[in-house]
Amino acid sequence: MLHKDLRQPIYNIYGFVRLADEIVDTFHHLDKSSMLADFKKETYAAIERGLSLNPILHSFQLTVNRFNIDHKLIEAFFRSMEFDLSKKNYDEAGYKEYIYGSAEVVGLMCLYVFCDGNKGQYLHLEPTARSLGAAFQKVNFLRDIKADYNGLSRVYFPGCDFSNFTEADKQRIEADIQRDFDHAYTGIQELPLKARFGVYVAYKYYLSLFKKIRRTEPEEILDSRIRIPNYHKALIVLRAGVKNQLRLI
């Protein structure tokens, strides 16, 4: 859904963060801490050298170096991935730090690509890009409670006891997510045209998923993974396309 000029750099970022996420979530029979440390070391070496024999890291460094992506974003991302190796519960400060490093900075890396060197535009859109990343991640947390809690013993939401997850707990989380979505939309409307439609489609998809979660009882969320059917995804794209053609985004 993005302009063709943006697709490869965004693929490169996604491949990088996807692989790091797989290291901390999947390879349980291996020393994940050592693997992540090696991956982090190889990442910075690739960026400094401008080359890597690992095709994912080579692609990522091309994007980092071309768009001058701040290395502090990469460091924050690795910090959150390190949390996933051992941290099981979060207080409010840890929750915010985790979301920043695991999601908000990924949106900011993409924003570097979207703004293509326009620092003023990047700084203007930075707060809303962070809100969009936070909204996406918090929706993921709600959607994936069963896998995170039962499979990985993780509880990201501070103050929540999933053995007694109440409607009040759910509504408190949902109100916070809605604020993130509302703030994020104001920034989507100001994105460069090459990025706006693709980001808007992602926004509408996650908003639809969020609305479905809001209609779902707490006990059902704990027992299943909420999904958007394919036909509904197609409708989201169709409606977004119409709004885009009419310049209503």
Domain with residue 132: its CATH number is 1.10.600.10
CB-CB contact of 116 with 63 (8 Å): no
61's enclosing H/E stretch is helix 55-67
CB-CB contact of 106 with 140 (8 Å): no
The burial class, CB within 10 Å (0-12 / 13-18 / 19+), for 189 is exposed
On the question of pLDDT at 12 being above 90, the answer is yes
On the question of pLDDT at 164 being above 90, the answer is no
pLDDT at 170: 93
Question: Rounded mean pLDDT of 104-129?
Answer: 98
- Name the percent of the chain lying above pLDDT 90: 81
pLDDT at 151: 76
Can you give the pTM of this predicted structure?
0.93
Question: Rounded mean pLDDT of 123-140?
Answer: 98
Nearest to 162 by CA among 175, 144, 149: 149
Q: What is the pLDDT confidence band of residue 91, given thresholds at 50, 70 and 90?
A: very high
Mean pLDDT of the chain: 94
Our count of domains for the chain comes to 1
CB-CB contact of 102 with 141 (8 Å): no
Q: What is the pLDDT confidence band of residue 236, given thresholds at 50, 70 and 90?
A: very high
Domain of residue 204, residue span = 4-245
CB-CB contact of 77 with 107 (8 Å): no
SS3 202: helix
On the question of pLDDT at 249 being above 90, the answer is no
Question: Rounded mean pLDDT of 195-202?
Answer: 97
pLDDT at 240: 92
CA atoms within 13 A of residue 6's CA, in its CB half-sphere: 19
On the question of pLDDT at 57 being above 90, the answer is yes
Length of the chain: 249
pLDDT at 160: 86
Alpha-carbon distance of 16 to 42, in angstroms, equals 12
Question: Rounded mean pLDDT of 35-51?
Answer: 98
